[in-house]
């Protein structure tokens, strides 16, 4: 009898086998208005504590600047969020439901976190437009990629992003021929093509002229709102120009948080930055 029943279960046509059901990651849940939770994170490399009991919350649509002296753990923090480094302990959640520590880099990228590296990393042997095309959100499995063609909607999106990053005239140039600042923008453009909810931007103003810096500040400010943007930066003028909330990291944990003015008058921060 039980054999018959299991046979019936086997033959049911309104269901598929469990292994055929695709694993659908939970949707980004922002009911509490917080997009990123980092709690009690600890990472050490060979005994050196790069991240030490770090707690950080990023609100949806916020533009947050993170500053700190060298070795404060800024890049390590980004590595944890994007899945490159696994913390020794602690938790990292994207919205209410998505556990970042259980995912690897491509999954995190697909969930909606984009990252710009400290050193601009674009595909130098490809044209600017190809760089953006490769980064575009969509089916990123092997076979669909083999047959992928741009449709008109995607072309519009490409043109739009080219416009935003101001590289419309260079669209057909090789990315390797761009200036340092333009490469930074292209990388930000690649982030935008991914349609991320959270952008992690590591030193976007490094090596830029003042004009370029102003345009970058403008670009990042305009992105906040629709996206949450986390900017790691050394240049204080740049940080002041994009305002927003500032977090100071020191020795792997948060030292102070507040507006730029508050931070600049904070006694601890002054000590860390200026010595004893």
Q: Enumerate binding residues for another protein (CB under 8 A).
A: 82, 84, 105-106, 109-110, 114-115, 117, 121-126, 130, 133-135, 137, 140-142, 145-148, 190, 194
Q: How far apart are CA 114 and CA 50, in angstroms?
A: 22
Nearer to another protein, 158 or 254 (CB): 158
**b/e per residue, 229-242, with b = 16+ CB within 10 A?**
bbbbbeeeebbebb
Measured CA distances, 60 to 28, 33, 222 (Å):
11, 5, 15
The closest of 200, 230, 234, 122 to 167, measured between CA atoms, is 122
Token pair for residue 248? Answer: 């100071």
Q: Which residue has the tokens 């922002």?
A: 30
Tell the smallest beta-carbon distance from residue 258 to another protein (Å).
31
Diameter of the chain measured on Cα atoms: 82
Nearer to another protein, 124 or 237 (CB): 124
Nearer to another protein, 139 or 169 (CB): 139
Tell the smallest beta-carbon distance from residue 153 to another protein (Å).
16
Nearer to another protein, 109 or 230 (CB): 109
Query: In this structure, are strands 89-94 and 245-250 parallel, antiparallel, or unpaired?
Result: unpaired
Q: How far apart are CA 50 and CA 252, in angstroms?
A: 5
Tell the smallest beta-carbon distance from residue 135 to another protein (Å).
5
Tell the smallest beta-carbon distance from residue 243 to another protein (Å).
28
Tell the smallest beta-carbon distance from residue 6 to another protein (Å).
33
Tell the smallest beta-carbon distance from residue 108 to another protein (Å).
8
Q: How far apart are CA 243 and CA 158, in angstroms?
A: 29
Tell the smallest beta-carbon distance from residue 121 to another protein (Å).
5
Nearer to another protein, 53 or 107 (CB): 107
On whether the CB atoms of residues 268 and 249 are closer than 8 A, the answer is no
On whether the CB atoms of residues 113 and 198 are closer than 8 A, the answer is yes
Measured CA distances, 32 to 35, 104, 111, 226 (Å):
8, 25, 18, 16
Nearer to another protein, 3 or 142 (CB): 142
Nearer to another protein, 141 or 172 (CB): 141
């Amino acid at each position: 009898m039980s054999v018959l029943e299991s046979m019936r279960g086997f033959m049911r046509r309104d269901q598929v086998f469990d292994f055929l059901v695709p694993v659908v990651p939970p949707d980004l849940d922002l009911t509490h208005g917080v997009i990123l939770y980092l709690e009690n994170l600890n990472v050490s490399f060979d005994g050196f504590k790069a991240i030490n009991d770090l707690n950080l919350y990023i609100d949806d649509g916020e533009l947050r600047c993170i500053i700190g002296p060298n070795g404060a753990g800024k890049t390590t923090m980004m590595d944890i969020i994007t899945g490159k480094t696994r913390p020794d302990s602690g938790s990292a959640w994207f919205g209410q439901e998505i556990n970042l520590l259980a995912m690897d880099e491509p999954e995190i990228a697909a969930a909606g976190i984009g990252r710009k590296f400290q050193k601009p990393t674009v595909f130098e042997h490809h044209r600017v437009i190809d760089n953006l095309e490769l980064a575009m959100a969509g089916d990123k499995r092997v076979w669909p990629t083999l047959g992928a063609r741009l449709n008109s909607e995607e072309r519009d999106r490409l043109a739009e992003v080219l416009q935003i990053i101001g590289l419309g005239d260079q669209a057909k140039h090789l990315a390797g021929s761009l200036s340092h600042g333009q490469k930074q923008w292209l990388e930000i453009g690649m982030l935008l093509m991914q349609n991320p909810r959270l952008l992690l931007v590591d030193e976007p103003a490094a090596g830029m002229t003042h004009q370029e810096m102003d345009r970058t500040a403008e670009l990042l400010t305009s992105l906040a709102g629709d996206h949450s943007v986390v900017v790691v930066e050394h240049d204080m003028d740049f940080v002041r120009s994009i305002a927003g909330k500032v977090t100071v990291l020191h020795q792997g944990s948060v030292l102070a948080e507040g507006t730029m003015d508050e931070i600049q008058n904070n006694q601890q921060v002054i000590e860390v930055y200026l010595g004893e």
